[in-house]
Chains A and B, each alone.
Chain A
């Protein structure tokens, strides 16, 4: 029974995280009315990929994208395509240990949020149904206005996820205790 629970632990933790995270992201009554919704379905696959590698990143990216499209997307597959690539790709980023890791997480969250927003701007421009079409620069400008606050929210969410991960990691914590900063560029090396 114990070994069975240990085997399904990652799936349980990931499922719980996605359900709670999406509920918060898509609940417009409380966080939404205060303008505090962070993009959980972007940050979570990114951090999963960076922490646990491309396989976990890909699976979580697919699941996150599915929920983004299922719950609120106009077209099915758009969110899935981007977050699955993000989760998978982030698994190949260099392994950073120690406190430097947090700075690296923050840097990647900022970069991903910006890329995701501006990709969204191009998609909004391309997908307009009626003429006259809104100027791309206007849409980019609006995205740029919203971007700093979204980055702040995503960084706060990242901090929360790091704390939650410390309390309830999907995989058991190893016995070895690594100290000090270190960067490795081989993705399959130990990352704890």
Chain B
């Protein structure tokens, strides 16, 4: 086998120019042509990545089940008992639930996510470097998701803790920008009612490696304290109010003694994440 001849230099130059043009276009927030252009590839590769991920999950699960057989058996016994107790409680609560639904309808009570459809999706690929990287999930335009500058979607875990937002979408997948990513920012609030403290929560390069994010532009600084729970404010209308972002871990003061910023520890656990939920608004 001989090494292949090099392509003509003009081909390389043209390719470089085209790629740089694509790069410049992609920095514009609503660069939808790319999601359309990648549709055929997305149709082929996303199911492959999903398949590989599920195979690796099954293989790993098989090995871990072999390793943990006795522990699993004991846990199973415990869970069976717990399940029976919960089923019993559930049957007792059925009537209460029905009464609550009737009351909710009669009084037109709105719960937190009434205006949102919640769609569950799998993570297709994780990030790599931790500096630039986003991760990809298997929900896209086919699922009613269409990311644009005017249309953003919150991504949460099973506990409704905020994980991030959708950054872009194509036909059958979307990229998620995590809460700790340097490009992420959201209006947030600590406390409720008149005592609410408004702030901006954003990713920070220096904090990202530790899995933390930063709160700045804090109003009503004097009453913010370590341990306060930070939630989404709902300002902007894309994210519902009340999604838990995290907890204040540390306060940073200016020379004058005012709170300048706060370090936030996200509430969503980092490890073993494979399923996420996207909140899709009515409009």
CA distance A31 to B128 in the complex (A): 11
Known contacts A29-B274, A84-B19; A120 and B6 CB within 8 A of each other? no
In the complex, how many angstroms separate the beta carbon of A56 from the nearest chain B beta carbon? 5
Q: Kindly state the separation between the CA atoms of A23 and B45 in the bound complex, as whole angstroms.
A: 11
Contact with A along B86-130 (1 / 0, CB 8 A): 000000000000000000000000000000000000001111110
State whether the Cβ of B7 lies closer than 8 Å to any Cβ in chain A.
yes
Return B38 CB to nearest CB of chain A, in Å. 6
Interface string of B7-22 (1 = CB under 8 A from A): 1000010011001101
Is residue B85 within 8 Å, beta carbon to beta carbon, of the partner chain? no
Residues of A within 8 A of B25 (CB): 76
A128–B206 CA distance with the chains assembled, in angstroms:
12
Determine the distance from Cα of A76 to Cα of B23 in the docked complex, in whole angstroms: 5
Q: B132 — nearest CB in chain A belongs to which residue? A: A74
Give the interface size bracket for A toward B: 35 or more
Which of B26, B56, B129 interacts with A75 by CB under 8 Å? B26
Cβ of A74 and Cβ of B23 under 8 Å apart?
no
Known contacts A74-B134, A77-B23, A120-B132; is-contact A52 B16 (Cβ 8 Å): no
Chain B binding surface, main DSSP class: mixed
Tally of chain B residues near chain A (CB < 8 A): 56
B192 lies within 8 A of chain A by Cβ: no
Which A residues from 53 to 105 make CB contacts under 8 A with B?
Answer: 53-56, 58, 62, 65, 70-78, 80-81, 84-85, 88, 91-92, 95
- With beta carbons under 8 angstroms apart, the residue of A28, A70, A192 that contacts B127 is A28
State the Cβ distance, A66 to closest chain B Cβ, in Å.
8
Q: Are A73 and B19 in contact (CB under 8 A)?
A: no
In the bound assembly, the distance between CA atoms of A120 and B175 in angstroms comes to 20
Q: Which of B1, B49, B133 has the most CB of A within 10 A?
A: B1
- B6 / chain A contacts, CB cutoff of 8 Å: 53-55, 88, 91-92, 187
B 41-61 contacts with A by CB, 8 A: 41, 45, 48-49, 52-53, 56-57, 60
Q: Is A138 an interface residue (CB 8 A)?
A: yes
Mark A residues whose CB is within 8 Å of B.
19-20, 22-23, 25-30, 32-33, 37, 39, 51-56, 58, 62, 65, 70-78, 80-81, 84-85, 88, 91-92, 95, 120, 123-124, 127-130, 134, 138-139, 142, 171-174, 187-192
5 shortest interchain CB distances as A-B pairs: A28-B126, A77-B23, A53-B3, A54-B6, A26-B125
